[in-house]
Amino acid sequence: MFGLTSGFKSPYLFKKRACDSTKPVSKEPDFSRLALDVLTGVSFEQAFLEMLSDPALQFYFRSTINPFCQLFIVNNQLKLTAQKHDMLSEELRTVLLSQYSEHEHDFAFQDNAGKRYVFYGFPVWSEQKQLLGNVFVACFKPVSDCEQFTFAFKPFLVAVGKILEVQAVKHQQLERAIENERKEFAADLHDTVAQVLSYLNFKTSSLKNLCEAKGNHLRLKNNIQDIHQQVIYANRLTRELIGSSRVQLSCHPISKAIQLIVDEYESLSGIVFEIDNRCQPEVDSLGSANEIIYVVRESITNLVRHSHASHARILVRKSAHNTVLLRIEDNGIGIDKTAKRRDSFGLKIMQERMHKAGALLEVEPRQGGGTQVSIFLPLQQTSFSVNP
Amino acid sequence: MSYLKDLLSSWFRHHGTSPNLKAIINSLENAVIIIGKDNTLQYANSYWTHLSGHLPHESQHTVFSEFIHPEDRVLWLTHLQKFYQSSETPNPVWLRLINDNDDKVYWCEIRVQRLYPNSPYPLSATIFDITPQIRSDQVKEAHYRSLKSQINRIPAMLYRSRNDLNWTMEYVSDGCNTLTGYAPKQMINNAELSYGSLIHEDDRESVWRNVQKAIQSDKCFEITYRLQHARGETIKVYEKGCAIFSESGSILAIEGIIFTLNELP
């Protein structure tokens, strides 16, 4: 493995020596700008490729290192980026990733076409001397002057180090954001459960007092009924928490998740399901995917359990006011609002979830019979002001 | 357009005079459209409104793909590409048209042909509404799927076998996996092993005798015997079944269900 020389000389002196002196010397590539790009949202891969397309850098490589080299970077999340993606065969990917954790980075590799490469690995360090990743250089023939080779790479490695460092910070920020969201979700749920339990506590006290008095049987009965409903509600919230945990494991886009839910329920019922998705790109770009998938699953569960339907359709299309309409409709018996169970909170929870996501949920009879659950999901910054 | 030609020929034969072509085309319960070089609609008959929700003159100069369901647009373009690349008349394409009026989708069979034999453009197309057929197929599929998954979830093995000493299985449900430890495909038509070979050696004769006795008296049989599980252990099973006869009285198959009785003493 090549170590970086401690005495750093300006690469531009080297470049002058190696290049044709009649050609103008290129301006120094602006690596710091690329690191900033990564910080402001440009992906690591994009920044890397952009860096390699920089004319100054290309000139630098061609003239100083080896005109027949390709570059690969392994960063600290073990993601691999290549100058030319078609070079990254599965076999090569496996070899490079396995070399990442090894001390010895120089090795030969023969691809499927029989072409041989010699790989040279360079560690990339942060300013705090933490290993951020490795740069691998694939050459068609071994390098004769290793010291010169290493020296020429120094500024490039420094730039890659900056990008990887920025990316590491971004990764940490993302991890924190996910953790905060989880905490917020748990806090909200705990808050609701705590409120229910406080209410139960109050009612239990009241019940206790009533039991001590005489001739209050009717009021006693009403209180017991109320407590019973609240206990069921708390139970439902707990089940919802379990369900949400399962949904959060899903990493599919919304369209794919809907398809998977439908596949699942198709095998569990005799209902004909039809997915009519007219705006897949828009629906897959929506935020609050977990909330949406939860509501779709809940609606389809209710449909299968209660609707007595033979057909169901999941319609996704653009709607007025810059929204996406997601509608789950069936041709079943419809909802009898007078027969609504007082201990049923499914709809309330769905509405709360959609309200939190800035969406509007409507449950109404379907024209021609059955029920339709319509969810109006805002695109961009549109949101609905609704009372939960 | 052979369909239209036949229709017109028939008209001429019966009436002997030139009919009002426009009236005939508008009376059809299929949509007839003409598509120009830039894939825009140049003409549509009255039935087009039923499918698309748009009046024919409103649809003129609109790109035809815009009426197609977004998920089927690639299919349409691929079909057109094949149409131009092949000298033969392509098979009709099935895709969905969106009706903006009632928010419904219509499944359609579209047949494309050249309007003029020597010119690639414009194209004429006949559009048949096949939604009822598709719906009917979907219902059949749903019934089949539902029944199949229901049978396969039953915690027992449903089967149809031949009446031979091997009990050659023509069909076994997924319960076979749990009951015997073998997959259905290993057992169907004795692909890898026969059900008969799994029956405990000492019970094979009594199983055969009891089943034949029930068949001869035209009754269902109920038997209990020991079975060799793939895990190597011997389990106790309960089987209830009956024979299926042809009208002439010959035995076509044995059908039944087998449960494990392992938990019983």
Q: Which candidate from B71, B105, B142 shows the least CB-CB separation from A270?
A: B142
Cα–Cα distance, A188 to A195 (Å, whole number): 11
Cα–Cα distance, A295 to B27 (Å, whole number): 46
pLDDT of A31 over the 70 cut: no
Chain-chain contact of A280 with B71 (C-beta, under 8 angstroms): yes
Q: B151 — contact with chain A (CB < 8 Å)? A: no
Q: B142 — contact with chain A (CB < 8 Å)? A: yes
Q: Are A37 and A45 in contact (CB under 8 A)?
A: no
CA torsion sign for B58, B60, B62, B67 is positive
Find chain A residues with C-beta within 8 A of B105's C-beta. 276
Q: B101 — contact with chain A (CB < 8 Å)? A: no
CA distance A289 to chain B (A): 21
Confidence (pLDDT) at A315: 95
Average pLDDT, chain A: 71
Among A136-145, A291-300, A344-353, which stretch is predicted with the lowest mean pLDDT?
A136-145
What secondary structure does DSSP assign to A33-95, as a single string?
HHHHHHHTT--HHHHHHHHHH-HHHHHHHHHHT-TTEEEEEEETT--EEESSGGG--HHHHHH
pLDDT of A257 over the 80 cut: yes
Q: B143 — contact with chain A (CB < 8 Å)? A: yes
Q: Go through the domains of chain B in sequence order and give each one's CATH number.
A: 2-131 (3.30.450.20), 155-260 (3.30.450.20)
Q: Are A303 and A342 in contact (CB under 8 A)?
A: no
Q: B229 — contact with chain A (CB < 8 Å)? A: no
Residue B100's closest chain A neighbor by CA?
A317
Q: Which residues of A215-234 are buried (b: 16+ CB within 10 A; e: fewer)?
A: eeeeeeeebeebbeebeebb
pLDDT of A63 over the 70 cut: no
CA distance B4 to chain A (A): 33
Helix axes A289-306, A217-248, angle to 10 degrees: 120
Confidence (pLDDT) at B227: 95
pLDDT band at residue A233 using 50, 70 and 90 as cut-offs: confident
Chain-chain contact of A277 with B139 (C-beta, under 8 angstroms): no
- Find the angle CA(A65)-CA(A71)-CA(A77) to the nearest 5 degrees: 140
Among A9-13, A64-68, A262-266, A294-298, which stretch is predicted with the lowest mean pLDDT?
A9-13
- Find the angle CA(A50)-CA(A51)-CA(A53) to the nearest 5 degrees: 65
The identity of residue A163, as a single letter, is I
Residue A276's closest chain B neighbor by CA?
B105
Q: Are A125 and A132 in contact (CB under 8 A)?
A: yes
Find chain B residues with C-beta within 8 A of A310's C-beta. 139
Q: What is the pLDDT of residues A158-186, one digit of tens each?
A: 777 777 777 777 777 777 777 667 666 76
Q: What is the pLDDT of residues A324-383, one digit of tens each?
A: 999 999 999 988 766 655 545 677 788 888 888 889 999 999 988 999 999 999 886 444
Q: Are A345 and A298 in contact (CB under 8 A)?
A: no
Cα–Cα distance, A331 to A237 (Å, whole number): 29
Sheet holding A311-319, edge to edge: A272-277, A311-319, A323-330, A371-378, A360-365
Confidence (pLDDT) at A170: 75
Q: Which candidate from A270, A276, A311 shows the least CB-CB separation from B146?
A: A270
The residue to which tokens 């020389």 are assigned: A5
pLDDT of A236 over the 60 cut: yes
Among A58-72, A189-203, B216-230, which stretch is predicted with the lowest mean pLDDT?
A58-72
Q: B98 — contact with chain A (CB < 8 Å)? A: yes
CA distance B183 to chain A (A): 20
Q: What is the pLDDT of residues A91-135, one digit of tens each?
A: 666 666 666 554 455 777 776 677 777 777 777 777 777 777 777
Higher-pLDDT residue of B47 and B37 is B47
Chain-chain contact of B69 with A276 (C-beta, under 8 angstroms): yes
Q: Which candidate from B105, B139, B146 shows the least CB-CB separation from A269?
A: B146
> What proportion of chain B, given as a percentage, has pLDDT over 90?
66
CA distance A258 to chain B (A): 15
Cα–Cα distance, B222 to B241 (Å, whole number): 7
CA distance A278 to chain B (A): 6
Q: Which candidate from B70, B103, B142 shows the least CB-CB separation from A271?
A: B142
Chain-chain contact of A272 with B71 (C-beta, under 8 angstroms): no
pLDDT of A199 over the 60 cut: yes
- For B248, residues 6+ apart whose C-beta sits below 8 A from its C-beta are none
> What proportion of chain B, given as a percentage, has pLDDT over 70?
91
Chain-chain contact of A277 with B138 (C-beta, under 8 angstroms): no
CA distance A200 to chain B (A): 41
Selected residue of B66, B100, B145, B174 to mutate for chain A interface (largest A Cβ count, 10 A): B145
Chain-chain contact of B71 with A266 (C-beta, under 8 angstroms): no
Of residues A304, A292, A282, A306, the one with CA closest to residue A258 = A292
Confidence (pLDDT) at A5: 31
Of residues A282, A155, A301, the one with CA closest to residue A239 = A301
Higher-pLDDT residue of A7 and A101 is A101
Residue A310's closest chain B neighbor by CA?
B139
Chain-chain contact of A272 with B69 (C-beta, under 8 angstroms): no
Chain A interface residues (partner B, CB cutoff 8 A) = 266-272, 274, 276-280, 310-311, 315, 317
pLDDT band at residue B69 using 50, 70 and 90 as cut-offs: very high
SS3 category, B90: coil
Confidence (pLDDT) at B90: 78
Q: B234 — contact with chain A (CB < 8 Å)? A: no
Chain-chain contact of A267 with B71 (C-beta, under 8 angstroms): no
SS3 category, B155: coil
Residue A277's closest chain B neighbor by CA?
B71
Q: Which candidate from B98, B139, B149 shows the least CB-CB separation from A272?
A: B139
Average pLDDT over residues A61-74: 58
pLDDT band at residue A2 using 50, 70 and 90 as cut-offs: very low
What secondary structure does DSSP assign to A343-369, as a single string?
T--HHHHHHHHHHHTT-EEEEEEPTTS
DSSP class of A17? H
Chain-chain contact of B103 with A315 (C-beta, under 8 angstroms): yes
Two tokens at B40?
């825009």
pLDDT band at residue A187 using 50, 70 and 90 as cut-offs: low
Chain-chain contact of B138 with A274 (C-beta, under 8 angstroms): yes
Higher-pLDDT residue of A268 and B163 is B163
How far, CA to CA in Å, does A309 sit from each of A83, A315, A341, A370, B151? 55, 16, 20, 8, 21
pTM, to two decimals: 0.57
Higher-pLDDT residue of B147 and A8 is B147
Helices (H), B16-157: 21-27, 47-52, 56-59, 73-85, 131-153
Sheet holding B31-35, edge to edge: B41-44, B31-35, B123-129, B105-114, B93-98
Helices (H), chain A: 11-18, 31-39, 44-53, 55-64, 90-100, 146-212, 217-248, 254-268, 280-284, 289-306, 346-356
Q: What is the pLDDT of residues B177-204, one digit of tens each?
A: 999 999 999 999 999 999 999 999 999 9
